Amino acid sequence: MICLLMTVTAAGCYFAVRTYRELKPAIIAENYYKKIRDKVADKVTREPDAGKLKEWNRDSIAWLSGPGTPIDYPVVQGKDNDYYLHHLSDGTPNEIGAIFLDYRNKADFSGDISVIYGHHITLNRMFSPLSQYKEQTYYNQYPYMVLYTPEQTYKIELFAGTILNGENESFPMEFKRKKEKKEWIRKRMVESTFQSKVKPSAKDRIVVLCTCSYEFYNARYAVYGRLIEMER
């Protein structure tokens, strides 16, 4: 009986240690991002001051927040789309990574299409909440996000969400003709997992929020929104 208890106890300790090791990067990452939130938040409004982000890393360009959702992170931009998959926004190695803008995009979000990537992490962290936009009710509750940059604050009015194949995932950065952009937007809305009353025009700047999905091997889920300047 004693041997059995010792075996059970040993097994329990083993799985506890294994679970902790698996969760440790997420715990470290969340503590780090919480510290940044506290540091950059305005004492009165509690809104992030994107201008303070450079204190942690010169690659910091913005802050992304989904009011009412767990999405509330700094946005960085590296020299490629690999580095910040494995590093926090201050450059610390961590598999949780950071929320980052595609390296080919303009850092001020002035291009036709700006693509922001983030890991799909357990416990509803990083970009995992995006998957809930596959349900109409979730979109109805949280139809927009806010992007804070040092120069301007933007409302991201979400208008579509689509499941993609990561094997051939490709987002255009610029369009030569407005007709091409208008058609691209139309297709996203036709394929969308939710319906929106937001009708982007060819003049609108579009932000794509992309993360992993699990419908099939190498699936991706992308949520699309148009940028609207807000008063600061």
| Residue-level pLDDT at 65 | 95
Q: Is residue 16 part of a domain?
A: no
Q: Which helix (H) or strand (E) holds 209?
A: strand 206-212
Residue 5 lies in a domain: no
Provide the pLDDT for residue 170: 79
Higher pLDDT, 16 or 137: 137
For residues 7-36, average pLDDT: 62
Task: Report residue 45 as tokens.
Answer: 């409004």
| In-domain check, residue 2 | no
First-to-last alpha carbon distance for the chain, in angstroms, is 69
Q: Average pLDDT of the chain?
A: 87
More confident residue, 225 or 37: 225
Q: How confident is the model at residue 11 (pLDDT cuts 50, 70, 90)?
A: very low
List the structure tokens of 79.
């020299």
Q: Which residues of 146-161 are buried (b: 16+ CB within 10 A; e: fewer)?
A: bbbbbeebbebbbbbb
Is the pLDDT at 7 greater than 70? The verdict is: no
**Residue 104 to residues 45, 97, 116: CA-CA distances in angstroms?**
33, 19, 11
Mean pLDDT computed over 96-108: 95
Question: How many domains are contained in the chain?
Answer: 1
The CA angle 119-121-125, to the nearest 5 degrees, is 100
Residue 196 in this model has a pLDDT that exceeds 50 = yes
Pairing status of strand 125-126 against strand 120-121: antiparallel
Exposed e or buried b per residue across 60-77, where buried means at least 16 C-beta atoms within 10 angstroms of its C-beta: bbbbbbbeebebbbbbbb
Q: Which domain holds residue 49?
A: 39-230
Residue 10 pLDDT > 80, yes or no?
Answer: no
Looking at residue 115, which CATH number applies to its domain?
2.40.260.10
More confident residue, 223 or 57: 223
Higher pLDDT, 15 or 100: 100
Q: What is the mean pLDDT of residues 144-156?
A: 95
Residue 27 lies in a domain: no
pLDDT at 16: 37
**Residue 42 CA to chain centroid, in angstroms?**
22
Residue 140 belongs to a domain: yes
* pLDDT for 191: 95
Average pLDDT on 158-165 reads 95
